Amino acid sequence: MSIQHVENEVVAFLQKLVQTPSLSGDLSGIADIVEFKMKELDFDEVWRDEVGNVIARKRGSAPGANLLFDAHMDVVQTGNLSRWHHPPFGGELDRGRVWGRGATDTKASLAGMVVGLGRMPRESFCGTVCVTGSLEEEVIEGAALAAVLDAVQPDGVIVGEPTDCRLAIGHKGRCRMVFTFEGRSAHTSSPQAGENAIRKMTAAARRIEAIPLLSDSLLGSNVMEPIIVTSSPNPNASTVPDHCRLIYDRRLVRGETPESVLAAHRAALSDLSGWSVAYEHLEIESYTGWAYRAPDFHAAWAVDPDSEWVRRAQAGLEQAGLPPVVYTAPYCTNAAVSAGERGIPSVVFGPSSIALAHIADEYIEVEELRRGMHGFVGLAQSLSRFKGSQPV
Ligand SMILES: [Zn+2]
C-alpha cells in the first residue's frame, strides 16, 4: 500500500470520526466506528473492555517493548452553534482542513494512531503496539485509561493530544479544591446577631492566597485560581448567609499528593473555625454502564529529558521527518495516570495546536494530520526497541 493511499485513508477516517458525535456519556457510536476500522486494518486482536474502551494489538517481527498509544474518543460540547461556520459534526474537508468538533482534540491523534499503526509493516517494529480509543478524558483524565493500563501492562505510553507534533515530556497535574464555610443566619439589619459565612470565606481566601507556591525545575510553579463562589440562602432578601463555598482550580507540581495539598491548606487556616476543605468528587457512567466516582486530583509528572526513553522518542520523530522538539505541556492529560500515578515512561504527542481545541470552528490542517500520523509510526518504530532503561 502506497504512502499516498495511507495519507488519504487517515483523512477520510478523521472525517468519519468527526461526523460521529461523541459527547461525554454517549460514546457507543464512536466506539463502533473505531472498532470497525481497527478490524479492517492489520491488527492481531481488537476488543472492548467493560469500561467501553476499544483496544487493538499488533505484534512486531522481533522481541521488544510493549507500547500503548492512547487517544480519547470523547469531545466537549459545541457551545453556541451560531459561532460555527462549518457544522460541528460535518467533518467537512475544505481549504486543506478537516473541520468540526474533535478534529484537533483528539480525533486527529486517534485517526493517526489507528491508521498509521494499523498499516505499519510488521518488519518495521519490535515488540507489541496497542492502540486504544479511550473514554471520558474530558470529564476525568485517566479514569478510563486506567483499565487499559491494567489489561495491557505497557512498558511505555504515548498519549495523543495536540502538541504541534512536539514531544511533551511532562505536565503539571491539577485538582479542584472545595472550601466550605458555615456561619449563622440573621436579619441583615443586625448582622452581629449572626455569623456571615461570606466574611469567613474572604478571611480564608486571604490566607490561601498567601500560601507560598511551590516551584518545579521543569514544570514551573503552582497556579491557584479561584473559579466559583456560591452562598446560601440565596436568593433570599435581607438574610445573612450561613453557608458559602469557594472552589479553586489548582495546577500541581511534581511531588504534590492529595494528602500534602490538603495538609498545607489546613495548616494555613488552622486558627479559623467553621470551615472544611475537600476535593470535588467527579462521577461518570459510561455507555456500558460502568460507573466511576473519584476525587478530582491528577498528579504532575515528567520524564528525565536525558533518559534513553526521551532520546529514542526524539529519534523516532527524526525518522518521521519531524524536528525532535521537547517541551512540557501546559495542560493535563491521561498521562496523569500512566506517568503521574503509575510511573510508566510516557510522552504526549499529537498533531495540531491546543489553541484550536474547545473552540467554535475547530479544525486541523490536513498536512499537520499527516505529519502526526508519521510521527506516531516513528515513535512506535523507535520506542519499541526500548525496554526498561535499556535498548533491546
Ligand atoms: Zn480537550
Condensed to tens digits (0 to 9), the pLDDT of residues 145-156 reads: 999 999 999 999
Alpha carbon of 158 to ligand 1 centroid (Å): 16
Q: Is the pLDDT of residue 175 over 60?
A: yes
Q: What is the DSSP letter of 214?
A: P
pTM: 0.93
Percent of the chain clearing pLDDT 70 (strictly above): 98
Share of the chain above pLDDT 90, in %: 95
List the Cα angle 58/60/62 in 5-degree steps: 150
What is the reported pLDDT for 198? Answer: 97
One DSSP character per residue, 118-143 reads HHS-GGG--SEEEEEEES-TTTSTTT
Give the three cell numbers for residue 298.
Answer: 491528577
DSSP letter for each residue of 3-57: HHHHHHHHHHHHHHHHTS--BTT--HHHHHHHHHHHHHSS-SEEEE-TT--EEEE
Please tell me the distance between residue 303's alpha carbon and the centre of ligand 1 in angstroms.
23
Q: Residue 204 in 3-state DSSP?
A: helix
Residue type, 266: R
CB 31 within 8 A of CB 94: no
As a whole number of angstroms, the distance between CA 282 and CA 52 comes to: 18
C-alpha of residue 105 to centroid of ligand 1, in Å: 5
Which residues keep their CB under 5 angstroms from ion ligand 1? 105
CA of 141 to the centre of ligand 1 (A): 10
Q: What is the whole-number distance in angstroms between the Cα of residue 132 and the centre of ligand 1?
A: 17
Quote the DSSP letter at residue 192: G
CA of 371 to the centre of ligand 1 (A): 20
Q: How much is the pLDDT for 119?
A: 97
What is the DSSP secondary structure assignment for residue 280, as one 8-state letter? P
Residues 349-384 have pLDDT tens digits of 999 999 999 999 999 999 999 999 999 999 999 999
- How far is residue 229's CA from residue 26's CA, in Å, rounded to a whole number? 30
Q: Ligand 1 centre from 358 Cα, in Å?
A: 6
Burial of 209 (0-12, 13-18, 19+ CB in 10 A): exposed
Q: Considering just the CA atoms, what is the radius of gyration of the chain in Å?
A: 23
Write down all domains in the chain, each with its CATH number in brackets.
3-172+300-391 (3.40.630.10), 173-285 (3.30.70.360)
How many CB atoms are located within 10 Å of the residue 45 CB?
A: 12
Question: What digits encode the pLDDT tens for the residues 61-104?
Answer: 999 999 999 999 999 999 999 999 999 999 999 999 999 999 99
C-alpha of residue 39 to centroid of ligand 1, in Å: 27
CA–centroid distance, 5 to ligand 1, in Å, is 29
Average confidence (pLDDT) over 171-196? 96
Over the stretch 304-314, which tens digit does the pLDDT of each residue have?
999 999 999 99
Q: How far is the CA of 133 from the centre of ligand 1 (A)?
A: 14
Residue 322 gets which letter from DSSP?
-
Task: Please measure the distance between the N-terminal and C-terminal CA atoms of the chain and give it in whole angstroms.
Answer: 29
